[in-house]
A and B are shown apart, each in its own frame.
Chain A
Amino acid sequence: MQSTLDLILRKREGISELRAPEVGLFTCALNSGALLGPGQLAGVILIAGKSVALRVPPGVHGRVSNKPRPRTQAPVGYGDVLYELLPVDGAGAEQLLDEAADNESGLILKSNQSGRFYHRPSPDEPAYANPGDELVDGQAIGLLEIMKTFSQITYSPAGGLPSRAKLVRFLTTDGGEIREGDGLIEVEPA
């Protein structure tokens, strides 16, 4: 177990929430009104008797607006809100990078199911396809896991996609969650 862990940042209606990154007993909480900045230590979580310091992740500035928990060594679960932060005037302009909206204007092969999309047949094997590779009808491009069942996803030139295509890029991370209709890969005519 590491001796320091970053808190999880979630933004909700203008408030930044810092959440527990582990299950444990939360102690040494900062009081409301405290100013928090990136890299600052903001409490300790006890996990199986070991102390792990909690650190404010990069890009977060704010003032703690919630009261600390009424007891020291308060049991918390993963993702429980530990701090609610209000923005501080002038202090560190919002550095938070909202996820760059993917430009999906190219030719996209979409998933018709929700699940988890893997780029390779197993963790220690090479990817089915790499950017720059040529794809033909029926060629495997990844593995879709739905309810613990794995099935191969193959390239299919339907919906206006070219019969021979070049893989431009993957639109999901290897092993990332996908929803029905999400783009899997971007291609261009080969």
Chain B
Amino acid sequence: MFRSLLIANRGEVAVRVARAAKALGIRSVGVVSEADLGASWIEELDSVVCIGGSAPKDSYLRVDRIIQAALQSECAAVHPGWGFLAENSVFAALCAQHGLTFVGPGPGTMERLGLKIPAKRAMGAAGLKGIPGSDGLLDTVEEARAVAARIGYPVIVKADAGGGGRGMRRCYKESELGQAWSQASAEAEAAFGNGALYMESYLTGGRHIEIQILADEYGHAIHLGDRECSIQRNHQKLIEESPSPALTAKERDELGLLAARAAASIGYAGAGTVEFLRAPNGELYFMEMNARLQVEHPVTEMVSGVDLVAHQLHIAANEPLTLKQEDVKLQGASIECRINAEDPSQGFRPTPGKLTAFELPCDVGPGTLRIDTHLRAGDEVPPYYDSLIAKVIAHGETRDAAIETMLACLKGATIEGVKTTIPLHIAVLQSKEFQSGEYDTASIPGWSPAATAS
């Protein structure tokens, strides 16, 4: 195992990886922007190196400075977390060139998967059917118009380098395409340093279901069940749960085995997620494979009892995956709510600021709670980065128990100084649609912005 690990990320992500490293006796080295130098979460790291200014392109995306920081602080490996450079194959290749182990799949596999078009081709060859759309990347908005005319509106333009809902715009008629195109491109350029776009049919009323896999360097791949992520706003996941209420146990096993086999067939190593869209007719389409850990990985950890970050580190250290498919026992139900510093009554306007109070009760039942956050009362939520301030994960023996536990925690929360998405979460969790499990990506059940506008 590595003696020292550089964590090329910030906030909640850095804290999550640092805790796993600590449990394995690995020294963690963080990289921070000038805006994060005074943040309290950097105490979770054994040391930090400042790598530049507040804008991500001046710091958390500065590949050269991050690699130099890893080398001069004697790290053997680099964990990219999720977001920023996690799916940047050039970064993975440069790490290897400098003798650093990149915690994730190799640059070749990542390049095929991190860019959505090669991914669709590779996974198609492995037996996973994709959504109708453009054959490849689109160079101009005119090309996009032609594809949309062929497959029919509504369509969705997506960033080739995308993830986390950034660089995506949906569009229902031709007149909207111009603006959707330039906004998606600008967002993709800012978030991933790559503004290339492609297009797919926008299937409404579908459900977003994904499979968590773990694969080692020796061709052994397993799955750890599914996650349902259909509660979304502007393609940003808000609530995730495992298992999905839409799949039977048999469907889940079959989909999981298919995903694990596809991952093994392309030589994937590490933790990864295969995302599917379940159309209203029950058809499952492959959407993309995320060659990294996901924000919502804790729901899988709660139902499986497996520490995914620890396994990532063992796999990166060339150890074989000792966990076998039959050892994976999924128990109970788990739900995650992403608490963002956004004002749901004002069109989800981001609300950076100082957290004057920040309490989420953990001692409520009937289930158990896990809270992943990098913040505490008195901390500043800077305007330069992601608006996520905490993830609340509830686990119960049944789905109802998990919902009840989550509601008890959210209703007892005291967060002041920034507005949060908690009112939205409570409304969704109390809705009939969510409680019955009958929901999809088209709408947010229980939530009508007009009813809560002040």
| A interface residues (Cβ-Cβ under 8 A, vs B) | 1, 22-25, 47-48, 75, 77-80, 113-116, 118, 121-123, 125, 143, 145-150, 177
Task: Let me know if B373 is at the binding interface, CB within 8 A.
Answer: no
Closest to A74 in B: B72
Alpha-carbon gap, A166 to B387, bound state (A) = 36
Query: In the complex, which residues of chain B have a beta carbon less than 8 angstroms from the beta carbon of A80?
Result: 50
Cβ-defined contact, B352 with A147, below 8 A: yes
What 5 A-B pairs have minimum CB-CB distances, sorted nearest first?
A77-B50, A75-B72, A77-B49, A23-B65, A147-B350
Alpha-carbon gap, A123 to B187, bound state (A) = 11
The one of B67, B183, B186, B341 in contact with A48, judged by C-beta atoms closer than 8 angstroms, is: B67
Alpha-carbon gap, A77 to B50, bound state (A) = 5
With both chains docked as a complex, state the minimum distance between the C-beta of B164 and any C-beta of chain A, in angstroms: 9
Cβ-defined contact, A148 with B190, below 8 A: yes
User: Which residues of chain B from 57 to 82 have a CB within 8 Å of any chain A CB?
Assistant: 59, 64-65, 67-69, 71-73
Task: Let me know if B182 is at the binding interface, CB within 8 A.
Answer: yes
Task: Let me know if B22 is at the binding interface, CB within 8 A.
Answer: no
Query: In the complex, which residues of chain B have a beta carbon less than 8 angstroms from the beta carbon of A146?
Result: 349-350, 352, 383
Alpha-carbon gap, A96 to B185, bound state (A) = 40
Cβ-defined contact, B51 with A114, below 8 A: no
Query: In the complex, which residues of chain A have a beta carbon less than 8 angstroms from the beta carbon of B51?
Result: 23, 77-78
Task: Let me know if B55 is at the binding interface, CB within 8 A.
Answer: yes
Alpha-carbon gap, A123 to B195, bound state (A) = 11
Chain B interface, DSSP helix/strand/loop, else mixed: mixed
Alpha-carbon gap, A113 to B350, bound state (A) = 9
Alpha-carbon gap, A48 to B97, bound state (A) = 11
With both chains docked as a complex, state the minimum distance between the C-beta of B157 and any C-beta of chain A, in angstroms: 14
The one of A47, A114, A121 in contact with B186, judged by C-beta atoms closer than 8 angstroms, is: A121
Alpha-carbon gap, A125 to B178, bound state (A) = 13
The one of B59, B65, B68, B182 in contact with A122, judged by C-beta atoms closer than 8 angstroms, is: B182
Q: A122-B185, A122-B195, A147-B384 are in contact. List 9 more A-B contacts (CB 8 A).
A: A75-B49, A77-B69, A78-B52, A113-B350, A121-B182, A121-B183, A122-B182, A148-B190, A150-B183
Query: In the complex, which residues of chain B have a beta carbon less than 8 angstroms from the beta carbon of A47?
Result: 64, 68
The one of A77, A116, A121, A148 in contact with B386, judged by C-beta atoms closer than 8 angstroms, is: A148
Query: In the complex, which residues of chain B have a beta carbon less than 8 angstroms from the beta carbon of A148?
Result: 166, 187, 190-191, 385-386
Alpha-carbon gap, A1 to B64, bound state (A) = 10
Cβ-defined contact, B182 with A114, below 8 A: no
The size of the chain B interface, using a CB distance under 8 A, is: 37
CB pairs A–B below 8 angstroms (6 shown): A47-B68, A113-B349, A121-B183, A146-B350, A148-B191, A150-B187
User: Which residues of chain B from 32 to 60 have a CB within 8 Å of any chain A CB?
Assistant: 34, 48-52, 54-55, 59
Alpha-carbon gap, A116 to B383, bound state (A) = 9
Tell me which of B52, B98, B186, B387 has the highest count of chain A C-beta atoms within 10 A of its own C-beta. Answer: B186
The one of A48, A113, A123, A149 in contact with B64, judged by C-beta atoms closer than 8 angstroms, is: A48
Cβ-defined contact, A23 with B68, below 8 A: yes
Query: In the complex, which residues of chain B have a beta carbon less than 8 angstroms from the beta carbon of A75?
Result: 49, 72-73
Query: In the complex, which residues of chain A have a beta carbon less than 8 angstroms from the beta carbon of B71?
Result: 48
Cβ-defined contact, B54 with A23, below 8 A: no
Query: In the complex, which residues of chain B have a beta carbon less than 8 angstroms from the beta carbon of A48?
Result: 64, 67-68, 71, 98
Task: Let me know if B400 is at the binding interface, CB within 8 A.
Answer: no
Alpha-carbon gap, A48 to B65, bound state (A) = 9
Closest to A47 in B: B68
Query: In the complex, which residues of chain B have a beta carbon less than 8 angstroms from the beta carbon of A149?
Result: 187, 350
Task: Let me know if B379 is at the binding interface, CB within 8 A.
Answer: no
Alpha-carbon gap, A175 to B190, bound state (A) = 11
With both chains docked as a complex, state the minimum distance between the C-beta of A187 and any C-beta of chain B, in angstroms: 24
Query: In the complex, which residues of chain B have a beta carbon less than 8 angstroms from the beta carbon of A145?
Result: 190
Task: Let me know if B189 is at the binding interface, CB within 8 A.
Answer: yes
Closest to B352 in A: A114
Cβ-defined contact, A114 with B383, below 8 A: yes
Query: In the complex, which residues of chain A have a beta carbon less than 8 angstroms from the beta carbon of B191?
Result: 148
With both chains docked as a complex, state the minimum distance between the C-beta of B316 and any C-beta of chain A, in angstroms: 22
With both chains docked as a complex, state the minimum distance between the C-beta of A77 and any C-beta of chain B, in angstroms: 4
Cβ-defined contact, B72 with A122, below 8 A: no
The one of A1, A79, A123, A147 in contact with B385, judged by C-beta atoms closer than 8 angstroms, is: A147
Closest to A80 in B: B50
With both chains docked as a complex, state the minimum distance between the C-beta of A78 and any C-beta of chain B, in angstroms: 5
Alpha-carbon gap, A80 to B292, bound state (A) = 32
With both chains docked as a complex, state the minimum distance between the C-beta of B400 and any C-beta of chain A, in angstroms: 34
Tell me which of A22, A116, A123, A147 has the highest count of chain B C-beta atoms within 10 A of its own C-beta. Answer: A147
Alpha-carbon gap, A150 to B234, bound state (A) = 12
Alpha-carbon gap, A122 to B98, bound state (A) = 34
Query: In the complex, which residues of chain A have a beta carbon less than 8 angstroms from the beta carbon of B185?
Result: 122
Query: In the complex, which residues of chain A have a beta carbon less than 8 angstroms from the beta carbon of B190?
Result: 145, 148, 150
Alpha-carbon gap, A146 to B386, bound state (A) = 9
Cβ-defined contact, B54 with A177, below 8 A: yes
Cβ-defined contact, B186 with A116, below 8 A: no
Query: In the complex, which residues of chain B have a beta carbon less than 8 angstroms from the beta carbon of A113?
Result: 349-350, 383
Alpha-carbon gap, A113 to B166, bound state (A) = 21
User: Which residues of chain B from 153 to 170 have a CB within 8 Å of any chain A CB?
Assistant: 166
Alpha-carbon gap, A48 to B98, bound state (A) = 9
Query: In the complex, which residues of chain A have a beta carbon less than 8 angstroms from the beta carbon of B55?
Result: 116, 177
With both chains docked as a complex, state the minimum distance between the C-beta of B48 and any C-beta of chain A, in angstroms: 8
User: Which residues of chain B from 185 to 213 have a CB within 8 Å of any chain A CB?
Assistant: 185-187, 189-191, 195
Query: In the complex, which residues of chain A have a beta carbon less than 8 angstroms from the beta carbon of B73?
Result: 75
With both chains docked as a complex, state the minimum distance between the C-beta of A46 and any C-beta of chain B, in angstroms: 9
Alpha-carbon gap, A50 to B55, bound state (A) = 26
Cβ-defined contact, B386 with A147, below 8 A: yes
